[in-house]
């Protein structure tokens, strides 16, 4: 697996937040070139969009929950109510420089189709998701015999919105399969700190609580 | 013999209304023969006049102007006492000092639409060629005609670009027409509870209303003013039918249920036993006092004809190609006249045009009329959208 690992914009690590911003948001925002047009799919309360706009990035959002949308609009953000599974098809090709799917992939009905749409609408995509290969998850299943629950994913199996979990390894395989190029990959540990980059893949897959990927359309001929 | 109470006759004199049509209690812009209004039907309307109200003050660089486009049965009296009814303005809840449309910050304009009856030229106005009211001799008008007239008013006022154009229902249609026809003059737009075209069901309801007016023997083929009468029964029925479409099953149930009006038992007659009947009759009769029947025919027709995509090769996105205007589209969950699906179709087209668009669907059981009522979520969104538009335009904050 050839990955371009780069230094992270997170020198002094403070767990979870730097100032008022979430570290995973800072990481994602750091992947976006200034002056770009960005679509944040599943933008929640618009926290990431606000961070992007504060950096002069032209941000738009899609959010499933009406409450989330209305809170975003009340913040002056350009957010529409919509569903990643059904509404991405309405966006034209190359409409954005980046399309961000933050902690939402596992809640979509068709993650593969969604991923393909992200890279049709945007020249690049930034995808983050909880890693089901994280050691705590494995331990809960292996020792406890339960479907894993964590601080970030507290729902029980019967009421969770997250229906398509994967591991970092699974995601990398999907990217290969649909010819998506990984420009950057970062795993964050339980505290939102990046897992050291010089470690092998299995360490990432074991100690990364979430994966953050910068993707572009693959150059591989089929 | 059953006891039948029909709709009462209006108490406001038709003469007062006729006077208001020509000599409105409003600011007035008149356009002479050298400045005709080019109508879609091919007629050049001249002379003509536009009655309008303003609130707040235009700033030095003329960047704080907001145009409110009014709905079918409303008028320019947004935030002042209505000259005919004596009642408060229809959007005082939204417009005023410290309100979402803050008159301390913005210069707010609302003009009576062309074809209306509150001072802008319409079928109730005097036709200079005959010295009598236009009646059905008035040319058919469209939503684009209304907007063209508003643009001429803004030219007259020396306002090149509007900070925002906003309006609900027919007002929302005008907002969309503004952005399609004059995108460079509209910095931001807020179409509320509307659609890019009038649906078959909505045309059907309008036809029902028009037929009710025309079936009234007092209508006299639109020349009722010459008989010193007016088709108040027909217009009231049209209003009653329309009013039902502005509400919702849940709202009617909550407000009236099956409750009786000032009685315990049914009277076994066609009197208004139920509160909902009494309410509708009141709505019908009070409407007749302030609205011209012919005007109702013309304005409903204008809405029927509205179809932005049809004017752009059938492709809605083409109407907004390359547009820089910031949009905030708002719909209400219980609005079945202009359902959320219509707003969503608009949002898809705006997305396809890469427009900067926000879209909020607001949960309420109050139906289409929710945009006129006290819905705090709608106020918050309106306020925030205008503030962010003002900020993007370099308007000073606070004040």
What is the tens place of the pLDDT at every residue in B5-48?
566 666 666 678 888 999 999 999 999 999 999 999 999 999 99
pLDDT for A210 beyond 90: no
Least confident of A60-69, B86-95, B181-190: A60-69
Q: Per-residue pLDDT tens for B109-146?
A: 999 999 999 999 999 999 999 999 999 999 999 999 99
Closest Cα of chain B to A93: distance in Å? 9
A17-217: CATH architecture = 3-Layer(aba) Sandwich (3.40)
Q: Give the integer Cα–Cα distance in Å for B96 and B376.
A: 16
Q: Give the integer Cα–Cα distance in Å for A129 and A101.
A: 8
Pairing of strands B326-332, B356-362: parallel
Q: Is B335 among the catalytic positions?
A: yes
pLDDT for A10 beyond 70: no
> How would you class B278 by CB atoms within 10 Å of its CB: exposed for 0-12, middle for 13-18, buried for 19 or more?
middle
Both structure tokens of A207: 């100690």
Q: Give the integer Cα–Cα distance in Å for A67 and B160.
A: 36
Q: Where are the domains of chain B?
A: 198-305
Residue B29: what pLDDT?
98
| Average confidence (pLDDT) over A41-54 | 94
Q: Is B169 among the catalytic positions?
A: yes
Residue A15: what pLDDT?
38
Both structure tokens of B360: 């909020």
Q: Give the integer Cα–Cα distance in Å for A26 and A212.
A: 11
Closest Cα of chain B to A33: distance in Å? 19
Residue of B nearest to A73 (CA): B381
Q: Give the integer Cα–Cα distance in Å for B102 and A50.
A: 25
| Average confidence (pLDDT) over B238-259 | 95
Q: CB B356 to CB A78 under 8 A?
A: yes
Residue A18: what pLDDT?
60
Q: Give the integer Cα–Cα distance in Å for B250 and B255.
A: 8
ipTM (interface pTM): 0.77
In total, the C-beta contacts within 8 angstroms joining chain A to chain B are: 64
Q: Is B232 among the catalytic positions?
A: no
Residue A222 or B371, more confident: B371
Residue of B nearest to A96 (CA): B354
B198-305: CATH architecture = Orthogonal Bundle (1.10)
Pairing of strands B126-127, B132-133: antiparallel
Among candidate residues B325, B389, B382, the one with its CA nearest the CA of residue B180 = B325
Q: CB B354 to CB A69 under 8 A?
A: no
Least confident of A43-52, A190-199, B196-205: A190-199
Q: Where are the domains of chain A?
A: 17-217
Among candidate residues B4, B26, B362, B331, the one with its CA nearest the CA of residue B168 = B331
pLDDT for A57 beyond 50: yes
Residue in B358, B377, B380 nearest the CB of A80: B358
pTM for this prediction: 0.89
Q: Which residues of A touch B346 (CB under 8 A)?
A: none
Grade residue B93 by pLDDT with cuts at 50, 70 and 90.
very high
Q: CB B387 to CB A76 under 8 A?
A: yes
Least confident of A2-11, B200-209, B309-318, B377-386: A2-11
| Average confidence (pLDDT) over B264-290 | 92
Q: CB B381 to CB A70 under 8 A?
A: yes
Residues 93-112 of A with CB under 8 A from B: 95
Closest Cα of chain B to A26: distance in Å? 23
Residue B174: what pLDDT?
98
Grade residue A197 by pLDDT with cuts at 50, 70 and 90.
low
Chain mean pLDDT for chain B: 94
Residue A5: what pLDDT?
38
Residue A144 or A16, more confident: A144
């Amino acid at each position: 697996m050839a990955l371009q690992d780069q230094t992270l914009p997170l020198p002094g690590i403070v767990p979870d937040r730097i100032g008022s911003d979430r570290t995973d948001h800072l990481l994602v925002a750091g992947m976006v070139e200034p002056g770009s047009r960005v679509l944040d799919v599943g933008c929640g309360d618009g926290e990431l969009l606000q961070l992007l706009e504060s950096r002069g990035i032209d941000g738009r959002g899609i959010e499933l929950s009406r409450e989330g949308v209305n809170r975003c609009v009340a913040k002056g953000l350009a957010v529409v109510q919509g569903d990643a599974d059904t509404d991405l098809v309405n966006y034209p090709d190359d409409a954005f420089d980046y399309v961000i799917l933050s902690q939402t992939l596992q809640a979509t009905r068709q993650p593969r189709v969604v991923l393909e749409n992200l890279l049709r609408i945007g020249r690049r995509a930034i995808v983050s998701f909880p890693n089901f290969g994280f050691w705590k998850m494995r331990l809960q299943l292996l020792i406890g015999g339960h479907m894993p629950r964590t601080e970030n994913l507290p729902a029980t199996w019967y009421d969770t919105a997250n229906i398509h979990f994967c591991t970092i390894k699974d995601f990398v395989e999907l990217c290969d399969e649909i010819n998506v190029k990984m420009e950057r990959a970062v795993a964050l540990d339980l505290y939102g700190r990046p897992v050291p980059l010089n470690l092998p893949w299995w360490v990432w897959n074991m100690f990364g609580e979430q994966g953050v990927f910068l993707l572009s359309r693959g150059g591989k001929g089929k | 013999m059953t006891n039948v109470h029909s709709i009462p006759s209006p108490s406001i004199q038709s003469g007062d209304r006729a006077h208001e049509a020509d000599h409105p209690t409003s600011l007035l812009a008149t356009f002479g023969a050298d400045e005709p209004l080019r109508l879609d039907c091919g007629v050049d309307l001249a002379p003509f006049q536009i009655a309008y109200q303003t609130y707040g003050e235009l700033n030095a660089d003329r960047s704080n102007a907001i145009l409110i486009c009014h709905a079918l049965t409303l008028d320019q009296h947004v935030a002042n006492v209505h000259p005919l009814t004596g009642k408060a303005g229809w959007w005082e809840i939204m417009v005023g000092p410290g309100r979402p449309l803050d008159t301390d910050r913005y210069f707010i304009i609302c003009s009576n639409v062309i074809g209306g009856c509150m001072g802008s030229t319409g079928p109730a106005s005097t036709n200079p060629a005959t010295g009598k009211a236009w009646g059905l001799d008035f040319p058919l008008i469209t939503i684009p005609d209304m907007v063209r007239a508003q643009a001429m008013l803004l030219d007259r006022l020396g306002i090149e670009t509007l900070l925002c154009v906003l309006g609900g229902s027919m007002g929302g249609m005008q907002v969309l027409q503004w952005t399609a026809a004059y995108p460079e003059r509209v910095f931001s737009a807020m179409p509320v509870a509307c659609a890019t075209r009038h649906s078959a069901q909505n045309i059907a309801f309008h036809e029902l209303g028009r037929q009710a007016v025309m079936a009234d023997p007092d209508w006299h083929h639109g020349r009722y003013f010459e008989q010193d009468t007016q088709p108040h029964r027909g217009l009231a029925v049209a209003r009653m039918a329309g009013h039902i479409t502005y509400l919702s099953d849940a709202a009617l149930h909550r407000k009236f249920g099956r409750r009786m009006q000032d009685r315990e038992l049914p009277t076994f007659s066609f009197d208004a036993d139920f509160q909902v009947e009494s309410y509708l009759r009141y709505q019908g009769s009070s409407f007749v006092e302030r609205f011209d029947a012919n005007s109702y025919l013309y304005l409903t027709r204008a809405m029927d004809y509205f179809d932005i995509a049809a004017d752009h090769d059938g492709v809605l996105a083409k109407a907004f190609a390359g547009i820089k205007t910031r949009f905030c589209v708002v719909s209400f969950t219980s609005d079945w006249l202009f359902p959320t699906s219509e707003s969503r179709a608009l949002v898809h087209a705006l997305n396809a045009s890469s427009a900067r668009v926000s879209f909020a669907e607001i949960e309420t059981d109050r139906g289409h009329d929710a945009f006129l009522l006290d819905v705090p979520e709608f106020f918050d969104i309106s306020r925030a959208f205008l503030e962010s538009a003002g900020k993007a335009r370099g308007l000073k904050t606070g004040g």
